[in-house]
């Protein structure tokens, strides 16, 4: 593995390249871009899948989303769908400059929100020849559903509008969190969803904690994400071979139902959905057996379609 950077507009995106065994720069390899979940960074679950695919003979690229982790951009801790999708296009720009990458054999995949962003990027980035997702979650849908109460989305949009006005008048930026910072905080909020319980176990303990994933989210720019549907136009523009992987233990993030919705909406003639039995959303981040099953499926898919 080596650290790399590539450009998105006028800032650097921080990435890591993983190489196959016995890598030789004189050879040309297929490549796969591997995107991290929302709130995550390249060193967490994305690196696990990147290493596994590299072992199968792929050059793999992970990167921190713009404004997050070690990547640049002045709007720190923003979760902006348009910029997230542009990161993928810039990743493709970078890969095609590498002499050892076969630019006709580039795939893309992601985990959780990164999987949904990967799908969305592939609709308009035709250099991605095959697309895969692991527990893809449609972030805009998650935000709109909120606490599942009536008009949750409208109340959030009103709060965003008020915060933008406050900041326009010189107020401080509001930096919130993606998830509660502890199980005690979650319990005090009356939340008992499996995905949130396991998110805290992953991100807030040594199991998955990383400096590039500080659980900070800038609130005011979220209006764009509220109106974002990662799968919009999949019935028209998503034609590449598609592999979807979900676990069959559903949770509040909705990746199980999002997987089946994506399967139904995708125009792809070659498409498959694989259900990992007994696996929750976060089991497919780093638990050895579910990840091994998913990685084997991904390797077979990319071998067949790149």
Q: Give the residue among 183, 193, 181, 218 at the shortest CA–CA distance from 80.
A: 218
3-state secondary structure of 2: strand
Q: Where are the beta strands (DSSP E) in the chain?
A: 2-8, 11-18, 29-35, 59-63, 101-111, 128-134, 175-176, 217-218, 242-247, 271-276
Domains of the chain (ranges; CATH) run 2-144+228-305 (3.40.50.1820), 145-203 (no CATH)
Evaluate if pTM is beyond 0.95: yes
Residue where the block lists tokens 């498959």: 272
For residue range 9-61, what is the model confidence (pLDDT) as tens digits? 999 999 999 999 999 999 999 999 999 999 999 999 999 999 999 999 999 99
DSSP 288: H
Q: What is the gyration radius of the CA atoms in the chain, in angstroms?
A: 19
Give residue 105's Cα distance to chain centre: 21
For residue range 143-196, what is the model confidence (pLDDT) as tens digits? 999 988 899 999 999 999 999 999 999 999 999 999 999 999 999 999 999 999
């Amino acid at each position: 593995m080596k650290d790399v950077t590539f450009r998105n507009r006028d800032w650097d995106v921080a990435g890591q390249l993983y190489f196959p065994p016995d890598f030789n720069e004189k050879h040309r390899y297929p490549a796969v871009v591997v995107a991290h979940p929302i709130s995550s960074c390249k060193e967490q679950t994305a690196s696990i899948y990147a290493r596994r695919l590299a072992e199968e003979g792929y050059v793999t690229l992970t990167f921190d989303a713009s404004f997050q982790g070690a990547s640049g951009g002045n709007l720190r801790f923003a979760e902006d769908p348009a910029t997230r999708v542009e990161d993928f296009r810039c990743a493709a720009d970078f890969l095609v400059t590498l002499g050892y990458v076969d630019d006709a054999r580039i795939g893309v995949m992601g985990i959780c929100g990164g999987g949904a962003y990967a799908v969305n990027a592939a609709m308009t980035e035709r250099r991605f020849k095959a697309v895969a997702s692991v527990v893809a979650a449609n972030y805009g849908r998650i935000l709109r559903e909120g606490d599942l109460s009536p008009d949750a989305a409208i109340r959030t949009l009103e709060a965003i509008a008020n915060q933008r006005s406050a900041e326009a008048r010189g107020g401080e930026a509001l930096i919130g969190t993606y998830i509660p910072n502890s199980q005690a905080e979650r319990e005090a909020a009356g939340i008992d969803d499996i995905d949130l319980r396991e998110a805290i176990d992953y991100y807030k303990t040594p199991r998955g904690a990383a400096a590039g994933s500080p659980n900070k989210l800038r609130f005011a720019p979220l209006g764009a994400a509220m109106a974002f549907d990662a799968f919009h136009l999949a019935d028209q523009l998503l034609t590449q071979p598609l592999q979807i992987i979900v676990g069959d233990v559903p949770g509040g993030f909705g990746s199980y139902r999002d997987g089946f919705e994506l399967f139904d909406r995708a125009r792809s003639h070659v498409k498959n959905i694989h259900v990992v039995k007994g696996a929750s959303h976060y089991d497919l981040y780093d638990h050895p057996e579910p990840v091994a099953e998913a990685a084997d499926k991904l390797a077979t898919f990319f071998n067949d379609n790149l």
